[in-house]
Structure 1
């Protein structure tokens, strides 16, 4: 893997590498989020309300939404998700590719000697993409938990909210994305490296899906309480600060049942989404690089 990437790096210009990673990242993010959109909406519904979570209630929410508003209601807010996730994923993956080079975590030897650099590259990529696209994340959350009459489309959220309100929950989101993105990229890249060292070949798509699933499981579990906090602050004006939100959630709903509400659902949808995302990015990015190299010969 490293050898092929190094070959591409010599043959491709910097602009071609950036464009390839942007296109691959946007496609990966869009595909992954569309697949798990109904589960994502279900999770947000429980995260933002003082109600207990279990899989029976989750299924009831999905069935009830279908009977009340039709099948497409399960993808309500997905248009906002696409507007947000495509630039988010494009920036995140492209930033990660550049940061790996900048922080010198490209070679296997350097990764073994400095595992913190791989984690740092992933964390910084998450910070950059989150900062650039946060208002779109808030708009998507508002649409996911409200009736269509309140927010008809994405633009209506921006028309009805003050600019400062579009960054409600930004701090816990930023704090959460550091371990989420850091552990996610680090786990995926490390598993790929170990696989290549022991099998002397690149992982196939199914193996990449498995590595991505592990990355999603670890990344999301490490940052989940902050995900609860950001959703509450995004969708309810009663929650003003991080500590105030944590105290209120713990007091009213309990430590585990409150701050980890819906985590079991995340263990289902998270690995699926992250696995699809990483696999799609690697596949499309490699394909675009090969096409560019072939054309430039």
Structure 2
């Protein structure tokens, strides 16, 4: 009996053990499942961090790309202004070079009164004695000066407008408009003044008794008169360029603004731009002409045979001209010639600058579009 009773005990024991094993397996399985859950959470966090990192990297790349584009746009605008300004200045000055030489010769001489008949006689004599190319004598010096001068002037004007926030957001800032033009003139004149002096020296001499080349002008001045002579008349020029450049740019920009308000077109055609430029040139020349006379007298004092005494300062030159020649025949001598050549030159300059600038912008955009593909 005792043996028979032991078997069920064994069975119970086995069953119990089995249930314990099953329970143990279930617990282990549960534990193993629970153990893998943190791994899943860690993997999810890592994936999210990776996505955030990629997003941040993409944002940085986009920001960097945007900054690069802005910098590239600014560089392109500067290059466009430099090229358009240089071309505009060269074309304008070459067109009126014979008239410019005639005006300078009358400006520096007090013994010959100015008239259109006298100016035509001067042009005829120059052509007969020296040939047609003599009418453009000094134009190489003019080009050497005007190309960098006009490029710097137009480009610096764009930058001064941006710095001074001229007419920003539709506002009408007349004073800032004038100041931006004056600062552009001072900037360009200061950087190219020796070339202006050399141009004046070549214009008032002939190729036989004067300077043959631009290089010879600088060499002779440096040796015979000293390097400081290269900036003789500089302050008279700066004082003159303030009303000249300020009035010219102010008048042109104001006329364009009024035209836009009346017509609604922000880009006037070439003929309208020429007319606006001509008006700007006449206003600028009239405002600065007396100081232009002083500048020419001071620049050519050593080569002008009629100048028997030196006029080392602006005030002394002004007083001398006033005493000996008066206001009309002294300070405004040759102004009528400037009313012809000035509007022509400035009109060509402004209209050519706007035209070439727009063409270059289109070319730059087309080039960029090909590069971005």
2:113 pairs with one of 52, 57, 81: 52
Any idea what SS the aligned residue of 1:268 has? helix
Deviation at 1:148, TM superposition (A): 1.1
Aligned to 1:116: 175
Within a 5 Å distance, the mapping from 1:150-161 to structure 2 comes to: 150-161=210-221
Mapped pair 1:67 → 2:167: no
Indicate the RMSD between aligned Cα atoms, in angstroms.
Answer: 1.4
What CA distance in whole angstroms lies between the structure 2 residues aligned with 1:290 and 1:254? 52
Aligned to 1:92: 153
Deviation at 1:108, TM superposition (A): 6.2
Aligned to 2:329: 257
Aligned to 1:226: 291
Aligned to 1:26: 86
Stretches (4+) displaced over 3 A: 9-12
What CA distance in whole angstroms lies between the structure 1 residues aligned with 2:146 and 2:270? 22
Instruction: Structure 1 unaligned segments of length 5 or more: list them.
Output: 1-8
Cα distance change on mapping 1:279 and 1:12 into 2, 3 Å: farther
Mapped pair 1:40 → 2:105: no
Any idea what SS the aligned residue of 1:13 has? helix
Aligned to 1:292: 364
CA contact (8 A) 1:123 1:180 kept: yes
CA contact (8 A) 1:108 1:193 kept: no
RCO (CA 8 Å, sep 6+): is it higher in 1 or 2? 1
Aligned to 1:134: 193
Deviation at 1:107, TM superposition (A): 3.3
**Cα offsets for 1:11-48 (capped at 9, x unmatched):** 96111000000000000000000000000000000001
What CA distance in whole angstroms lies between the structure 1 residues aligned with 2:161 and 2:290? 28
Aligned to 1:179: 243
Any idea what SS the aligned residue of 1:105 has? coil
Aligned to 1:3: none
1:280 pairs with one of 329, 352, 356: 352
**Cα offsets for 1:58-117 (capped at 9, x unmatched):** 00000010001011100000000000000000000000011111111143622x1x2111
Query: Which is worse superposed, 247-256 or 178-187?
Result: 247-256
**Cα offsets for 1:233-263 (capped at 9, x unmatched):** 0001422111111111111111111110000
Aligned to 1:248: 320
Task: Give the TM-score normalised by structure 2.
Answer: 0.75
Aligned to 1:213: 278
Instruction: Structure 2 unaligned segments of length 5 or more: list them.
Output: 1-68, 303-309
Residues matched between the structures, number: 287
What CA distance in whole angstroms lies between the structure 2 residues aligned with 1:154 and 1:10? 41
CA contact (8 A) 1:12 1:293 kept: no
Deviation at 1:147, TM superposition (A): 1.8
